[in-house]
């Protein structure tokens, strides 16, 4: 299925990284295993955002909502609905996709910034419901100690579970990016008017993209529960969505794996910065400013750009 759409050197890199990640829990302290697992979850989330942002050109300003909805869906189904854990995990992404469909249906009529503003409003509506409805969602306390099967109770076990699902999800997302749907989505990003006049129903195509992105955000949300066994309303707060946005920009929003790198950098920085300061958002702001001035294509875009010019120079020398 992937024949011809992944270059050989990337295959080698992916295999090497995969092997390192499988061995990692055996040789690193539990805290780092936990951080790595959190990076995987966040990376899947950032990549799902970038599917609509970088490939679709849609200003999805409040992507965190679909993550939160996925996590809360698992938590509520298990604690309030007595749904078996595995069924809750399977259903959660569909719940996120449904919310994505509803919010997207309203927002898609608007473009660019207006789209983003309306999405922040509708997303914040869901956040405030989660935040205030104590009887159902636990309000600002969130939901804790969600019962999970015994094989998911150690950090190492949930690490492997998350690694497996994230790998599968990323492979699927990559296939979609390379499919006719993905190619058309990128064409819409470059020139929606032109796409419309070659016979593409642009609004419907973008709406489907939002639903797909919400679905994958929902998977990330469910995996967060597998790691933390808790959910809290901050997952749906708009400032977290801003962090996701920065991850995409920082990693490089015109590359597939860029947001993964962005997520790794932000999660790692946040973990270590919070040891020394409470003002994490201040650091985030500084990163954003430096990024805009020095790395407009993101870290990944910068590195790949260097690599390409190097190859081009070698080519021209011959």
Partner 1 sequence: MLQVQGVSKSFDDFMAVSQASLDVPDGALVAVIGPNGAGKTTLFNLITGQYKPDQGKIVLDGHEIGGLPAFEICRRGVGRAFQIANIFHRLTVFQNVQVAVLAQQKKSAHLFRPAQNMVVAETNAILENTGLARKSQRLAGMLSHGDQRILEIAIALGTQPKLLILDEPTAGMSPEETGATMQLVGRLGKDQGITILFCEHDMDIVFSVAQSIMVMRHGETIIQGTPDEVRKNREVQEAYLGDVLSVSKEDDHAAS
**Closest separation between CB of residue 90 and partner 1, Å?**
19
Nearest Cα neighbor of 95 from 265, 234, 217, 11 is 217
Binding region for partner 1 (CB under 8 A) out of 93-101, 117-125, 181-189, 264-272: 181-189
Q: Rounded to 5 degrees, what are φ and ψ at 80?
A: -100, -30
If binding is defined by CB under 8 A, does position 290 make contact with partner 1?
no
**Closest separation between CB of residue 243 and partner 1, Å?**
26
Q: Rounded to 5 degrees, what are φ and ψ at 231?
A: -135, 150
What CA–CA distance (Å, rounded) separates 220 from 215? 9
Binding pattern to partner 1, positions 254-273, x when CB under 8 A?
x-------------------
If binding is defined by CB under 8 A, does position 102 make contact with partner 1?
no
What CA–CA distance (Å, rounded) separates 261 from 255? 10
Task: State which of residues 168, 183, 282, 290 lies at the interface with partner 1 (CB under 8 A).
Answer: 183
Binding pattern to partner 1, positions 64-83, x when CB under 8 A?
--------------------
Question: What tokens were used for 151?
Answer: 């094989």
Residue written as token pair 């990640």: 21
CA angle 229, 233, 234 (to 5 degrees): 95
Give the other-Cβ count within 10 Å of 316's Cβ.
Answer: 7
Binding region for partner 1 (CB under 8 A) out of 63-71, 159-167, 197-205, 269-277: 197-205
Total length of the chain: 318
If binding is defined by CB under 8 A, does position 196 make contact with partner 1?
yes
Binding region for partner 1 (CB under 8 A) out of 11-19, 170-178, 236-244, 278-286: 170-178
H-assigned helices in the chain: 8-27, 30-53, 64-79, 85-107, 112-132, 134-137, 155-178, 180-190, 192-196, 202-228, 238-251, 258-276, 280-294, 298-317
If binding is defined by CB under 8 A, does position 3 make contact with partner 1?
yes
Q: Mapping DSSP to helix (H, G, I), strand (E, B) and coil, where does residue 231 land?
A: strand
If binding is defined by CB under 8 A, does position 187 make contact with partner 1?
yes
Task: State which of residues 21, 121, 167, 178 lies at the interface with partner 1 (CB under 8 A).
Answer: 178
Question: What tokens were used for 28?
Answer: 């690193």
**Closest separation between CB of residue 191 and partner 1, Å?**
5
Task: State which of residues 24, 102, 200, 291 lies at the interface with partner 1 (CB under 8 A).
Answer: 200
Q: Nearer to partner 1 by C-beta: 189 or 229?
A: 189
**Closest separation between CB of residue 6 and partner 1, Å?**
10
Task: State which of residues 21, 98, 110, 208 lies at the interface with partner 1 (CB under 8 A).
Answer: 208
Question: What tokens were used for 223?
Answer: 């995996």
Q: List residues binding partner 1 (CB under 8 A).
A: 1-5, 172, 175-176, 178-184, 186-187, 189-191, 193-202, 205, 208, 254
């Amino acid at each position: 299925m992937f024949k011809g759409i992944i270059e050989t050197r990337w295959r080698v890199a992916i295999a090497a990284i995969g092997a390192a990640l499988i061995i990692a829990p055996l040789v690193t302290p539990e805290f780092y295993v936990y951080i790595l697992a959190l990076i995987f979850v966040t990376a899947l989330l950032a990549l799902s955002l970038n599917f609509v942002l970088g490939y679709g050109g849609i200003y999805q300003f409040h992507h965190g909502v679909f993550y939160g909805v996925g996590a809360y869906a698992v938590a509520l189904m298990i604690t309030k609905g007595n749904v078996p854990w595995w069924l809750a995990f399977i259903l959660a992404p569909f719940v996120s996709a449904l919310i994505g469909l509803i919010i997207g249906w309203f927002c898609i009529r608007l473009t660019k910034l207006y789209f983003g503003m309306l999405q922040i409003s509708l997303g914040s509506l869901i956040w405030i419901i989660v935040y205030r409805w104590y009887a159902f969602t636990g309000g600002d306390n969130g939901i804790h100690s969600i019962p999970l099967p015994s094989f998911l109770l150690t950090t190492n076990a949930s690490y492997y579970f998350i690694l497996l699902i994230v790998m599968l999800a990323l492979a699927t997302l990559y296939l979609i990016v390379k499919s006719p749907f993905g190619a058309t989505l990128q064409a819409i990003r470059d020139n929606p008017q032109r796409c419309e006049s070659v016979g593409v129903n642009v609004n419907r195509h973008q709406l489907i993209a939002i639903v797909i992105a919400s679905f994958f955000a929902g998977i990330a949300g469910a995996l967060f529960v597998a790691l933390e066994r808790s959910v809290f309303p901050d997952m749906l707060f708009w400032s977290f969505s801003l962090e996701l946005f920065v991850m995409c920009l920082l990693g490089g929003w015109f590359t597939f794996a860029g947001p993964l790198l962005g997520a790794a950098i932000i999660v790692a920085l946040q973990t270590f910065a919070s040891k020394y300061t409470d003002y994490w958002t201040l650091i985030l702001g500084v990163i954003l400013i430096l990024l805009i001035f020095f790395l407009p294509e993101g870290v990944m875009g910068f590195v790949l750009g260097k690599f390409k010019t190097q190859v081009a120079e070698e080519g021209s020398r011959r």
